[in-house]
């Protein structure tokens, strides 16, 4: 098996990276953006088509207000002021998550990032922002129920393909490889539906330390996997 078509990453460990250096947590988040830029560039270079990154979960609102505010500002900077780099690199940005509940300024930034990169097709970068897998599935159920009520289709016509169309990731292939940095062995509400047959790669490496060498290790591990999808191979 060669390189994955769709890689998803749970970028975890920023706070611990900062703590190791006796710095406030936000230093870790700032350094994490550099990691992201590095990986985005590399994915484009080696021909990975889709990269989905977990930037802010629906549960992350429960962090101290100062940290939440900092993360919002950082996102504004990365996908607002510094968008040009992504535009130049042929990256097509899409936000997956509920942006209706963030500030109008933040919404504007996401919309213009999507608008300004919409003709790019080198790398599709999905940013999971205010994203939660259960929330995504719940809003899909609402959408389907309401369309059934409106008579657009019947209950019997609800197939897995139909469910797919109501998710944020509607027209995207499922992730082939999901990487979680920072050493935790859990999903934390990320891509619950889409990860049904993804290969997982966990590493102790903290996100700000995740460099190209580390990424290559994950890709190498993926290469060795035999994806059976329930079948048997002699």
What residues line the site for Mg ion (CB under 5 A)? 12
Give, in order, the Cα–Cα distances in Å from 188 to each of 95, 203, 223. 18, 15, 25
| Residue 97 binding: pick among ligand IPE, Mg ion, none (C-beta 5-8 Å cut-off by kind) | none
User: CB-wise, 12 or 31, nearer to Mg ion?
Assistant: 12
Site size for ligand IPE (CB under 6 A): 17
| Dihedral of alpha carbons 82, 84, 88, 90, sign | positive
Q: Are 207 and 11 in contact (CB under 8 A)?
A: yes
Q: If binding is defined by CB under 6 A, does position 11 make contact with ligand IPE?
A: yes
Radius of gyration in angstroms for the set of CA atoms belonging to the chain, rounded to a whole number: 18
Q: If binding is defined by CB under 6 A, does position 195 make contact with ligand IPE?
A: no
Q: Minimal distance in Å, beta carbon 149 to ligand IPE?
A: 34
> How many C-beta atoms surround the C-beta of residue 215 within 10 A?
23
Q: Applying CB under 6 A, which part among 10-18, 33-41, 87-95, 216-224 lies near ligand IPE?
A: 10-18
Q: Applying CB under 6 A, which part among 83-91, 106-114, 178-186, 222-230 lies near ligand IPE?
A: 178-186
Q: Minimal distance in Å, beta carbon 138 to ligand IPE?
A: 18
Q: Where are the beta strands (DSSP E) in 58-190?
A: 91-96, 123-131, 177-180
* Binding map of ligand IPE across residues 67-96, x = CB under 6 A, - = no contact: ----x-------------------------
CA distance 144 to 130: 22
* Binding map of ligand IPE across residues 15-44, x = CB under 6 A, - = no contact: xx----------------------------
* Block residue for tokens 């490496």: 205
CA distance 17 to 221: 24
SS3 202: strand
Single residue of 33, 51, 55, 172 touching ligand IPE by CB under 6 A: 55
Give, in order, the Cα–Cα distances in Å from 207 to each of 214, 218, 223. 10, 13, 22
What amino acid positions are annotated as catalytic residues? Answer: 12, 60
Interface positions with ligand IPE (CB under 6 A): 10-16, 54-57, 60, 71, 182, 184, 186, 188
């Amino acid at each position: 098996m060669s390189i994955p078509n769709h890689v998803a990453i749970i970028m975890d460990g920023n706070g611990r990276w900062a703590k190791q250096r006796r710095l406030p947590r936000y230093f870790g988040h700032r350094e994490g953006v550099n990691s992201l830029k590095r990986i985005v560039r590399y994915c484009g270079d080696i021909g990975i088509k889709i990269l989905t990154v977990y930037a802010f979960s629906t549960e992350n609102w429960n962090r101290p207000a100062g940290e939440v505010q900092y993360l919002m500002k950082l996102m504004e900077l990365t996908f607002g002021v510094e968008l040009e780099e992504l535009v130049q690199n042929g990256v097509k940005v899409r936000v997956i998550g509920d942006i209706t509940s963030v500030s109008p300024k933040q919404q504007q930034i996401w919309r213009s990032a999507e608008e300004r990169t919409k003709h790019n097709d080198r790398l599709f970068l999905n940013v999971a922002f205010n994203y939660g897998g259960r929330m995504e599935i719940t809003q899909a159920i609402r959408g389907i129920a309401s369309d059934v009520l409106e008579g657009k289709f019947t209950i019997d016509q609800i197939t897995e393909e139909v469910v797919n169309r109501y998710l944020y990731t509607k027209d995207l292939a499922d992730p082939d490889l999901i990487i979680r940095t920072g050493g935790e062995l859990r999903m934390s509400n990320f891509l619950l539906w889409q990860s049904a047959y993804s290969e997982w790669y966990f590493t102790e490496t903290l996100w700000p330390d995740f460099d190209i060498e580390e990424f290559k290790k994950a890709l190498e591990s993926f290469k060795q996997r035999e994806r059976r999808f329930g079948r048997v191979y002699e």
